[in-house]
Chain A
């Protein structure tokens, strides 16, 4: 596609429920990143996929968070047993090869609210 597509754009969920956030990167981009941004805060790295390599999961805040990337394209971030502190904007980004050289293109984000 022309840009990074994320869905849903907004999600309100009850505490304790599971949620799935979807990211469809730019066609041909091999690197895919998930970050989150809490209100008034900076970008917090969550997970990074590069081609067929094992993902870098070093930023996942707890074992309630997981992500997968199928067929080197679409990625899903899953949060189990959501907590109020999970409320944030979840941003997906993609890039050609290594994004640390080329920079990222971000999607429009999913705003998650846990009530």
Chain B
């Protein structure tokens, strides 16, 4: 089982709709969770972080965390063509106390005008 799993997509969403991206992780002790956006040919950019169960909202983005289900999601409201990118989920697995993030392989999102 991969430590961080994401559906690779592509996920196509009409402009103006809600895009929902999901991520599951294997280590129950994980403490911090991040979403990165990566445009084609560019490096990842941090867009959201979440540490506690529940929802965290920032503009059109909402991160949701459920530690009991080992599940993290990212909702993008009022999707825009500029949201078309690959979204990477990253988790601190706390394996052996190593302080580095483990990344999923990403979900490719396409917003259809």
A58 contacts across to B, CB distance below 8 A: 98
Report if B22 contacts A (CB, 8 A). no
B99 contacts across to A, CB distance below 8 A: 31, 48, 50, 98-100
A91 contacts across to B, CB distance below 8 A: 43-44
The minimal Cβ–Cβ distance linking B82 to chain A, given in whole angstroms, is 19
Closest to A92 in B: B43
**Contact size range, A:** 20 to 34
A89 contacts across to B, CB distance below 8 A: 43
Annotate A74-114 by CB proximity to B: 1 below 8 A, 0 otherwise: 00000000000000010100000011111111111100000
Q: Which residue of A43, A45, A56 contacts B88 across the interface (Cβ within 8 Å)?
A: A43
Given contacts A43-B44, A105-B46, A106-B45, contact A100 B104 (CB under 8 A): no
Could you tell me which B residues sit within 8 Å of A by CB distance? Answer: 31-32, 34, 42-46, 49, 51, 88, 90, 92, 94, 98-106
